[in-house]
Each structure stands twice: as C-alpha cells, then as structure tokens.
Chain A
Amino acid sequence: MHASTQQENAVGLNAVGMDEKLAEVMQAKAEHQGCGTSGGSGKASCGSSAGQGDLPTEIWEKVKNHPCYSEEAHHHYARMHVAVAPACNIQCNYCNRKYDCANESRPGVVSEKLTPEQAAKKVLAVASTIPQMTVLGIAGPGDPLANPEKTFKTFELIAKTAPDIKLCLSTNGLALPDHVDTIAGFNVDHVTITINMVDPEVGAKIYPWVFWKHKRYTGYEAAKLLTDRQMLGLEMLTERGILCKVNSVMIPGINDKHLVEVNRAVKSRGAFLHNIMPLISSPEHGTVFGLNGQRGPTAQELKALQDECEGEMNMMRHCRQCRADAVGLLGEDRSAEFTTDKIMAMEVNYDLDSRKAYQALVEEERVAKVAAKQEELEALAGEQSDIKLLTAVATKGSGLINEHFGHAKEFQVWELSTAGAKFVGHRRVDLYCQGGYGEEDSLETIIRAINDCHAVFVAKIGGCPKADLIKAGIEPVDTFAHEFIEKSAITWFKEYLNKVKTGEIVHTARGDAEIRQGALINAA
C-alpha cells in the first residue's frame, strides 16, 4: 500500500465522526451477517456492495464514497467526468468518437472538450452545486494516458483547489506502464482499465489497430501488444496499492465465454472489481459493430455471466456506462447544467465546510438505510425457500422508492431470496432520441426492459399502466412509497412467500428482458 496521502487525509477530515459511526454500524452488520446480504457467494456482497464486509479498513475508506467502486455509495454520492482527453492510441470496434449527439449516453461520447483550466473551474462549480460530488474522473473521450499532459495538468489543478475530491481515471491500458509512477504521485486511488480479452486471437476481432512507439500495429500483433501492456500495467498498479477496476464489454459470440478467463486473469493480478458491461451497438452509432449488426447481450445473458464470475471476485452491477462528461449521481446526468459558457459565468465559492456538513447528512441517511434493512433481514431469518426472483424499483436515489412509474428513466433491479435483497443491475427506459428511432409506445418499452421481474416498486402509478403491467404478469407495488428499497422489498418478499405457502399464488419463472441499445435522452 502506498503511504497515506494528502488527498486521503483531506477526505478523512471530512466527517471523521460520521465515518467512525458508519464503520461501527457496518462492522456490527458484517459480524451479524457474516458478509453482506447476498448469501451464496459471500464475496459478491463484500466490497462492491453494502458494507465493509471483509474489506480491510484502509480499502473501505477508499471505496465507501466512490459511487463506481461501492454499489451502496452510488445511491448517495455523485461523480463527474471532465472531457480533457480527446486523443486515443487504439481503435475499438465498438467506438466511434465522431458521433456526438447531445441526447446520447454512452462511453467515448462528449459534447464539448475542455482545457485543463476549464476543467478545474468546472469541478469547483459542480462541487459547490452538488455537495455530494466526491469523485472526479478522467475517462476520455479518448484515452487519458494518450493525453498525459492534459490529464495530469487537470489533476494538478484540482488537487490544489479542491483537495477533498478523489481523483480517478479510466484507460485502455496501452500507455499505462509508462505513467504508473505519475499516477501514484498524484495520489490517484482508483484506476479503471478496459480489458476485453487476454487472448490476442479474440482481441484481433475487437481492436483493428493500436498505435505504439510511432507505429500502427494491426491484427494479432496489435492485440498481443495491448494485452501484454494491460497486464503489466495492472500488476504495477496493484503493487502500489492503487485500486483497480476492470471494465469488460460483453460482445456475444466474440468474447462472452472468454470473459470468464479474463476475470481469472485480472483477479490473479490483484484487480479489485470487475465490471462486465453489455455492448452498446446500434447502426446509427456508426461503429464497426453497429454497422455489421453485432448484437449486444440480453439481460439474462449478462446476468448469467456476471453471476458466473462473481464467485471469483467482486462484480460491479451498477455501471451506467456514462459519458466522458457525465455529471451527477450514476443514474442521472446533469452535464447540461454545466456547459463551458455557464461555468465561466458562474461565481464559484468553494466551501469545504458546507460540503462536509452535507456529506455528514448523507452518512446519516446511509446509516438509517442500513439499519432499516437489518431490521427486516432479522424478520426474514426464519424463512426457508428456494425461491429467488427479480423486482424492479423506480428511484431517484438515496435508497428510497421515490420515483413515479411514468417519470422513471431507469429501474433498478433487485434479486430477492431468503438471503435478503441484492442489487443486480438497472434497466434504462428513457425515451428514444428525437430523430433516432420512431416513436414507440413507452409502456411496451418498459415492460420489455423489466420483463424478467415479478414486481415493480413505485412511489405512484396511474391506473392504465397498472392494468397493463398486471396483464404482463408484473405486479405494480405502490404501497411502499418513499420507504427504503431493501426493507420494502424484503417485506414484500416475505408476503409473497406466505402467499405461495398458502397456495394463494403459484410461483412461476419470468422470461428474459431487453437491454436498451438505442440513443437515449439524458436531460431531465
């Protein structure tokens, strides 16, 4: 582990009292339950999920308010990306950075590029407006390490003006070994590497070329070079105690089965978290895969692969595949509020104390949520059943059922069993981008997106959609409005099990669901 850093110290000062309190609650919770709530593979819920679990305190301190590294944190804390890194040193078949629609949300896409100075101003403006924004990431739109000067200049400026903000970056790994020491020097605690293969034969189908040491390499040679550099970079980071998340794009027929091998390879090199994401592929994106009709996985295929890898290491299930200029909680994008014109006109008053005070409140909310869940879990303790099912939840964040069915832009998906409620993903149901696909019945779209769920929890729902959901076999539940998700879901599940027991209902399995591929509206 590298030495405790200035940045960590600053974060530590933020809410020492609350952190201790939280740590105690988490500790007590972990002791009570063994590790997390998912049952089965205990590993899954440790670290990436709710509590500290078996994580060393030093690592828990690093992840507990990072929305991407802690599933539990993502309900409360926000992140932002600054698009200071336009250049890239490799070409991927799922990426086309030329395409930039303001209404579209996927990695590699950005509406405007920033200079490091503009980025630093933007970070201060956002941090002042959104006090729960704790993480600044550089994720492109190209590769941060193909733009090392811009990336590190940005880090330097932000470390000076907003020392409590965690810095992180996301890279393809090709240039990573050359920059590991600089990354460590800037106290970057979190690095994400996108690793789609460890076999160059597979890689040759994903990467048409890489540019390295003044030369463009293609085919097997390119993929071999990339995988060697990625593995070396990963090892160098973990040696220095920097937490590594590995992102993998699941491409059916190309690397879907191979990702189990990738999972083993990155785990053995000390990766902390594995994020398997569905391929986003649509002809209008203009990517090679989009144009040649390569499909993305279904919800069931994705979940099956994530479940298969879960026994091996922590899996990230809450990734929203956000843009290189995203701002806000993971489920939202407030980047439109912070365009360069708007930021430059803003009077920014960076008030560390008010940020601290706000975050202390967030911690209170978080502790209350954990306590509520604990209560219900105890109630579930006597239940014996093999039934495991999925439910969808309409939420605006904070771990509450607080969104109207008709306003939801996404649904969280929770798996319920007698081991408790486990977050396993989310489904986007935004309306199609204007000028993209034609108008489609949004209710049908929603039903297709959550078709594998037995129930949908909402704050409110109209009579019409209610009837249609029931017809589709999905129970709309509005009796837990503005209550905690996990507690409510467990209460509902207990009743469900009782109904099955008494013969009032018969438990049947649900079908598959669709992962949205089209262009999406990101504005509120």
Chain B
Amino acid sequence: MTLKIVASQCTSCSACEPECPNVAISEKNGTFVIDPKKCTECIGHFDVPQCAAVCPVDDTCVIDNAYPRYQPTA
C-alpha cells in the first residue's frame, strides 16, 4: 500500500511536501499528489506517515488500497 491525498480535501498548504522522506509529494493541478512508486508509508524512516501527521485536514492523507502493502527490503 501507499498513501494518497484526497484531492477534494487538500487545501494545497504544502505542509506535507518537505516532510516526505522519499520526496514522493509534488504539486499537480493546484493540489498535492503522492507518487505511489516512491511512497514507503514512511516505514523505516518514522513511526507514522509524515504527510498524515502534518496535514491540517483529517482523513486527507490516507492509505490507498489500490496498491499492495509496501514491503521494506532488508
């Protein structure tokens, strides 16, 4: 799995962008998006996904069930 940003709720405040340890977040058409190829759910970096922890709107940075669970490589 990876995280995704619910576009309709994103205030485009940019707080998440610099917090992402994988540089997976960028601005696209006025809101921010997470590149599923880069997102690691912050596993190995932090206890909780940083985008969700800093986001001012609840339930906006959420797990995207469309992708398989991220597997950290040893």
Using Cβ atoms and an 8 Å threshold, which residues of chain B touch A146? 15
Which residue of chain B is the closest to A214 with respect to CB atoms? B46
Scan residues 11-69 of chain B and give those whose CB is less than 8 A from a CB of chain A: 11-15, 18-19, 46-48, 50, 53-54, 56-57
Given the complex of chains A and B, what is the CA–CA distance between A141 and B50 in angstroms? 21
B53 touching A87, Cβ below 8 Å:
no
A86 in complex: contacting residue of B14, B48, B53, CB < 8 Å = B14
Scan residues 144-170 of chain A and give those whose CB is less than 8 A from a CB of chain B: 146-147
B53 in complex: contacting residue of A88, A141, A147, A214, CB < 8 Å = A214
Chain B nearest Cβ from A524, distance in angstroms: 28
Using Cβ atoms and an 8 Å threshold, which residues of chain B touch A91? 56
> What bracket does the count of chain B residues touching chain A fall in?
10 to 19
Scan residues 68-89 of chain A and give those whose CB is less than 8 A from a CB of chain B: 86-89
14 contacts between A and B (CB under 8 A): A86-B12, A86-B13, A87-B13, A87-B14, A87-B15, A87-B18, A87-B54, A88-B13, A88-B56, A89-B54, A146-B15, A211-B54, A215-B47, A216-B48
B15 in complex: contacting residue of A88, A98, A113, A214, CB < 8 Å = A88
A147 touching B46, Cβ below 8 Å:
no
Q: Which residues of B pack against A, CB within 8 Å?
A: 11-15, 18-19, 46-48, 50, 53-54, 56-57
Q: Is A516 in contact with chain B by the CB < 8 A criterion?
A: no
A147 in complex: contacting residue of B12, B14, B19, B57, CB < 8 Å = B14
Using Cβ atoms and an 8 Å threshold, which residues of chain A touch B11? 86, 97-98
Chain A nearest Cβ from B15, distance in angstroms: 4
Given the complex of chains A and B, what is the CA–CA distance between A214 and B48 in angstroms? 9
Scan residues 126-146 of chain A and give those whose CB is less than 8 A from a CB of chain B: 141-142, 146
Chain A nearest Cβ from B58, distance in angstroms: 10
Total number of A residues with any Cβ neighbor in B under 8 Å: 16
Using Cβ atoms and an 8 Å threshold, which residues of chain A touch B50? 214
B14 touching A211, Cβ below 8 Å:
no
Chain A nearest Cβ from B63, distance in angstroms: 17
Known: A98-B56, A146-B15. 18 other contacts (CB 8 A): A86-B11, A87-B13, A87-B18, A87-B54, A89-B15, A89-B54, A91-B56, A97-B11, A97-B13, A97-B56, A98-B11, A142-B13, A142-B15, A147-B14, A211-B54, A214-B53, A215-B48, A215-B53
Given the complex of chains A and B, what is the CA–CA distance between A86 and B57 in angstroms? 14
Using Cβ atoms and an 8 Å threshold, which residues of chain A touch B48? 215-216
Which residue of chain A is the closest to B16 with respect to CB atoms? A87
Scan residues 473-520 of chain A and give those whose CB is less than 8 A from a CB of chain B: none
Given the complex of chains A and B, what is the CA–CA distance between A22 and B15 in angstroms? 46
A214 touching B19, Cβ below 8 Å:
yes
Given the complex of chains A and B, what is the CA–CA distance between A89 and B55 in angstroms? 9
Given the complex of chains A and B, what is the CA–CA distance between A141 and B14 in angstroms? 12
Given the complex of chains A and B, what is the CA–CA distance between A379 and B58 in angstroms? 62
Given the complex of chains A and B, what is the CA–CA distance between A255 and B47 in angstroms? 34
Chain A nearest Cβ from B66, distance in angstroms: 26
Given the complex of chains A and B, what is the CA–CA distance between A146 and B18 in angstroms? 10
Which residue of chain A is the closest to B53 with respect to CB atoms? A216
Given the complex of chains A and B, what is the CA–CA distance between A280 and B53 in angstroms? 27
Which of A97, A211, A214, A215 is most buried by chain B, counting CB atoms within 10 A of its CB?
A214
Scan residues 169-222 of chain A and give those whose CB is less than 8 A from a CB of chain B: 211, 214-216
**Interface 1/0s, chain A 92-131, versus B by CB < 8 A?**
0000011000000000000001000000000000000000
Given the complex of chains A and B, what is the CA–CA distance between A449 and B58 in angstroms? 37
Which of B13, B47, B53 is most buried by chain A, counting CB atoms within 10 A of its CB?
B13
Which residue of chain B is the closest to A97 with respect to CB atoms? B11
Using Cβ atoms and an 8 Å threshold, which residues of chain A touch B15? 86-89, 142, 146, 211
Given the complex of chains A and B, what is the CA–CA distance between A146 and B46 in angstroms? 19
Which residue of chain B is the closest to A213 with respect to CB atoms? B46
A98 in complex: contacting residue of B19, B46, B57, CB < 8 Å = B57
Given the complex of chains A and B, what is the CA–CA distance between A142 and B50 in angstroms? 18
Given the complex of chains A and B, what is the CA–CA distance between A274 and B11 in angstroms? 31
Given the complex of chains A and B, what is the CA–CA distance between A113 and B54 in angstroms? 19
Using Cβ atoms and an 8 Å threshold, which residues of chain A touch B57? 98
Which residue of chain B is the closest to A91 with respect to CB atoms? B56
Chain A nearest Cβ from B38, distance in angstroms: 18
Using Cβ atoms and an 8 Å threshold, which residues of chain B touch A98? 11, 56-57
Please give me the 9 A-B residue pairs with the lowest Cβ-Cβ distance, nearest first. A87-B15, A216-B53, A86-B13, A211-B54, A98-B11, A87-B14, A87-B13, A214-B46, A86-B14
Given the complex of chains A and B, what is the CA–CA distance between A113 and B57 in angstroms? 18
Using Cβ atoms and an 8 Å threshold, which residues of chain A touch B46? 214-215
Chain A nearest Cβ from B2, distance in angstroms: 19
A216 in complex: contacting residue of B12, B14, B18, B54, CB < 8 Å = B54
Given the complex of chains A and B, what is the CA–CA distance between A423 and B54 in angstroms? 41
Chain A nearest Cβ from B55, distance in angstroms: 9
Chain B nearest Cβ from A10, distance in angstroms: 32
Using Cβ atoms and an 8 Å threshold, which residues of chain B touch A87? 13-15, 18, 54
Chain B nearest Cβ from A280, distance in angstroms: 18
Which residue of chain A is the closest to B54 with respect to CB atoms? A211
Given the complex of chains A and B, what is the CA–CA distance between A216 and B53 in angstroms? 6
Given the complex of chains A and B, what is the CA–CA distance between A211 and B54 in angstroms? 6
Using Cβ atoms and an 8 Å threshold, which residues of chain B touch A216? 48, 53-54
Given the complex of chains A and B, what is the CA–CA distance between A113 and B12 in angstroms? 10
Chain B nearest Cβ from A88, distance in angstroms: 6
Given the complex of chains A and B, what is the CA–CA distance between A15 and B18 in angstroms? 43
